[in-house]
Every structure is written in C-alpha cells, then in structure tokens.
Amino acid sequence: MTDTMILDRLNAVKPAEERGAPLLEISHLRKEYDGVPALRDISLRIDKQEVVVVLGPSGCGKSTLLRCMNGLERIQAGEILLDGGVLTTEKTDWRLIRQKIGMVFQSYELFPHMTVLENILLGPLKVQKRKRKEAETAARVLLERVGLYEKRTAFPRQLSGGQKQRAAIIRALVMEPEIMLFDEITAALDPEMVREVLDVMLELARSRMTMVIVTHEMQFAKAAADRIVFMDEGEVVEDSPPGDFFVKPKTERARRFLNIFQF
C-alpha cells in the first residue's frame, strides 16, 4: 500500500464523535466451552467502511470471536447487533444473516467436484435465488479483479493455495455482504503465495469494504487497519489506531507480543 493510499484511508475515517450507529456491535459477549471461558465480557463496535484487525497470541479467542459474530458458535451471555437488530435470539435466522456477514476461513472450503465458477455461483443461485446471468456477470467482474478469470473453469485441485484462497474470497464477496470476516486466511499458504492474497485484501481495504480480519501478518495489519484490537486470554486488552498500537502500545502484554515481531 502506497503512502497516498494510506492517506486516503486516514482521511476517510471519521473521528469517534462524528460516527453514527455502528454497523456491527458486540456487547458484553461471553463464550464458554464446557464451563471454561473462551471470551470474557467482550464489547466491540465495527463502523461501516471500517477495517478492524484483531491481533493476539494463539488461543486468545480471536477465531472464536469471529465465529460468534457469524453465528457459528452459541454464546452464553451478551448481545450481537447488526444494523441495530439483535442477532442473539432464538428466532434469528443465521442462514439469512450469513448473507450479510460473509466469512472466509483458513481452509478455503471449496467444493472439490465443482469448478471455480460453479463454487462462486452456488450461493447466489441456490441461496439468494438470483438470475444466472446477473450472478455470472458479478462473478466475472470479481474474478477479473483478482486475476482469476482464466481459472474459472478449473477445479480446486488445479489451483495453487493462493488461487484457492482468492476464489474463496470471491465466493463470499459475490453474495454482496455488508461486512466480511477473515480468519487467518494466509496461515496455510506458502510464503510466496501470501503476498497475492494480501494484495487482494489491501485492495478491499482501499475500496472501503467493512472488514474484521484475524491475522499474524503485522506489516499488513499496520498498512490496512483503521483500528487494531489486541486480545489476550479471551479479553480485549487494547483497541487503538495502528499508529498508536505499533509505536506506543499501552500494555506490557502488547509490548511483549510486538517484540516477537521486532516492532
């Protein structure tokens, strides 16, 4: 990301006092596994067009937090709201909500017996009941955007890891979600493939896609994030702009974490 791109993003981010209602809000969320807390009293807001990067040591609850946002984990206490509507009720239809809250996983989750294009079109055609011509047009635009259009008839086994992950991102984006969640999507990739996926992510950040990203890619986090949320032992320890977090973290725990990456 160039200096101009970073300045454009900073200029687009409104001060806290000018913000309206959050797009996604988490209030006093608690998640347990067999009575053992995984998330402790998490409160967090995500504004429209904001990129929030969640950092922290392995096992601190980052992925669990994303899975709770997407309804893949049941919570024991707290609320999750999208556009002001409460999601944490027995009546919530998460099948519909997941069309608004897209998620991309570390393991791609592509269907091996389908081509790239068939994987991408499955949701729009079967779930959203969109017209095929319209869905194919949207898929083509997105595939061209990430340099995968020539691979549209290929099967997942014929793709590199980076290409599979880019296809998984497009499969989520074609559903036209309001917010995207990314869970360590470069963790399983060879180093040379990480860059191609991060370039797509940076372009999404520049386009002001609302995103929550769990990653260990520190330089990417520094360049792409509007806010850094640092977690440890199931709690939010720090929540600050990347310039503050990477230069002058508030806590000793964050300083020790950053020292591993020589920040």
How far CA 161 is from CA of 21, 136, 144, 178, in Å, comes to: 38, 24, 18, 26
pLDDT 10s digit of each residue in the chain, 263 long? 444 444 444 444 445 445 578 999 999 999 999 999 999 999 999 999 999 999 999 999 999 999 999 999 999 999 999 999 999 888 999 999 999 999 999 888 899 999 999 999 999 999 999 999 999 999 999 999 999 999 999 999 999 999 999 999 999 999 999 999 999 999 888 888 899 999 999 999 999 999 999 999 999 999 999 999 999 999 999 999 999 999 999 999 999 999 988 66
Q: What is the pLDDT of residue 18?
A: 55
* 182-198 as b/e: b if 16+ CB within 10 A: bbbbbeebeeebbebbb
Q: Domain residues of the chain, as ranges?
A: 21-111+179-260
pLDDT tens digits, one per residue of 149-199: 999 999 999 999 999 999 999 999 999 999 999 999 998 888 888 999 999
Cα distance between residue 256 and residue 263, in whole Å: 10
Q: What is the pLDDT of residue 263?
A: 60
Please check whether the domain covering 21-111+179-260 is classified as CATH 3.40.50.300. yes
The stretches of the chain forming alpha helices (DSSP H) are 3-12, 62-69, 94-97, 116-122, 132-145, 161-173, 191-206, 218-224, 242-247, 252-260
CB 114 within 8 A of CB 126: no
Coil, strand, or helix at residue 24?
Answer: strand
Q: What is the pLDDT of residue 156?
A: 95
Q: What is the pLDDT of residue 107?
A: 86
